[in-house]
């Protein structure tokens, strides 16, 4: 028998998004990761992907007009949502051009990033599988990592979850960690403090996930332990909601 509970469940690495889902809604994580029943990606997530694509295009090519960056982002969004039944598609699409403009205007003065979507793989103490992630923007000259978050409302401070994410991406490096929030009208880039604490939190969550997985090698048994919060936005998609009823009877 394999000693490592992660490997027994075919989990050979961890990601920020997976651990964040486990922390926020374990029932969804069990359904998607262990039972392999995943609903469609929502329009809000596609808005983020498309806006980031437009922003990055404009940063890598300073001569590219903002209008062309916006068109590239819109093209990406339309491709991603071509078969979507999410009622929020048009609302999310309308936000993309503004986010792209705000992002480029805020970030272009920093110069061309050294790398975008740079893969990282790290081992954290006490966690028996590696963590894999992708750095949005790396400015090697300034030793800064910036994670791009598109949002419709600007937060007054970075979320704990986002701080954990960027702390992971800068673990064991001298780079400063920053979270950039971009709305259709304004932006803010927050530095991440207490990175050691954030890493400790990630280790804590991962070890709890490991102990949970050690309870059984049968995903159905584990699904019988957790309870979905069906009022959460995680279950708002009708397909995901139907899966929830099938798996959890709620």
Say if strands 176-182 and 144-150 run parallel, antiparallel, or are unpaired: parallel
Shared domain check, 192 and 86: no
Q: pLDDT category, 1, cuts 50, 70, 90?
A: low
Identify the domain containing residue 156 by its residue range. 5-39+129-248
Identify whether 230 is part of a domain.
yes
Look at the block and give the residue holding tokens 């991603």: 80
Residues 6+ away with beta carbon under 8 Å from 82: none
**Residue range 146-159: mean pLDDT, rounded:** 97
Please report, for residues 39, 49, 122, 133, 156, the alpha-carbon distance to residue 98 in angstroms, rounded to integers and kept in the order given.
28, 14, 35, 27, 20
Shared domain check, 234 and 150: yes
Identify whether 116 is part of a domain.
no
**pLDDT at residue 2, rounded to an integer:** 72
Computed on alpha carbons and rounded to an integer, the radius of gyration of the chain in Å comes to: 19
pLDDT in tens, 64-95: 999 999 999 999 999 999 989 899 999 999 99
Q: How many domains does the chain have?
A: 2
**pLDDT at residue 245, rounded to an integer:** 97
Identify whether 221 is part of a domain.
yes
Boundary-marking domain end, from 110, 137, 167: 110
Shared domain check, 219 and 138: yes
**Residue range 1-28: mean pLDDT, rounded:** 94
pLDDT in tens, 228-237: 999 999 998 9
Shared domain check, 199 and 175: yes
Shared domain check, 173 and 51: no
224 has pLDDT over 80: yes
Shared domain check, 143 and 20: yes
pLDDT in tens, 109-143: 999 999 999 999 999 999 999 999 999 999 999 99
pLDDT in tens, 167-195: 999 999 999 999 999 999 999 999 999 99
- Contact indicator for 60, 113 with CB cutoff of 8 Å: yes
pLDDT higher at 207 or 87:
207
- Contact indicator for 242, 31 with CB cutoff of 8 Å: no
């Amino acid at each position: 028998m394999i000693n490592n509970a992660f490997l027994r469940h075919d989990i050979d690495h961890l990601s920020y998004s997976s651990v964040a889902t486990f922390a926020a809604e374990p029932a969804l994580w069990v359904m998607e990761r262990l039972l392999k029943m995943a609903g469609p990606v929502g329009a809000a997530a596609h808005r983020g992907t498309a806006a980031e694509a437009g922003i990055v295009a404009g940063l890598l090519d300073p001569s590219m007009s903002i209008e062309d960056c916006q068109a590239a982002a819109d093209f990406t969004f339309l491709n991603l949502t071509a078969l979507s039944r999410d009622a929020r598609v048009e609302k999310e699409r309308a936000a993309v051009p503004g986010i792209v403009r705000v992002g480029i205007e805020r970030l272009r003065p920093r110069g061309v990033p050294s790398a975008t979507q740079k893969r990282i793989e790290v081992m954290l103490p006490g966690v028996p599988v590696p963590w894999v992630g992708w750095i949005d923007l790396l400015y090697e000259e300034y030793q800064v990592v910036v994670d791009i978050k598109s949002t419709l409302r600007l937060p007054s401070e970075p979320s704990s979850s986002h701080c954990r994410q960027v702390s992971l991406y800068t673990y064991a490096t001298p780079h400063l960690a920053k979270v950039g929030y971009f709305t259709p009208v304004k932006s803010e880039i927050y530095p991440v403090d207490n990175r050691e604490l954030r890493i400790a939190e990630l280790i804590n969550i991962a070890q709890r996930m490991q102990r949970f997985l050690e309870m059984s090698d049968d995903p159905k048994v584990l699904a019988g332990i957790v309870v979905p919060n069906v009022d959460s936005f995680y279950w708002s998609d009708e397909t995901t909601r139907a899966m929830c009823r099938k798996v959890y009877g709620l």
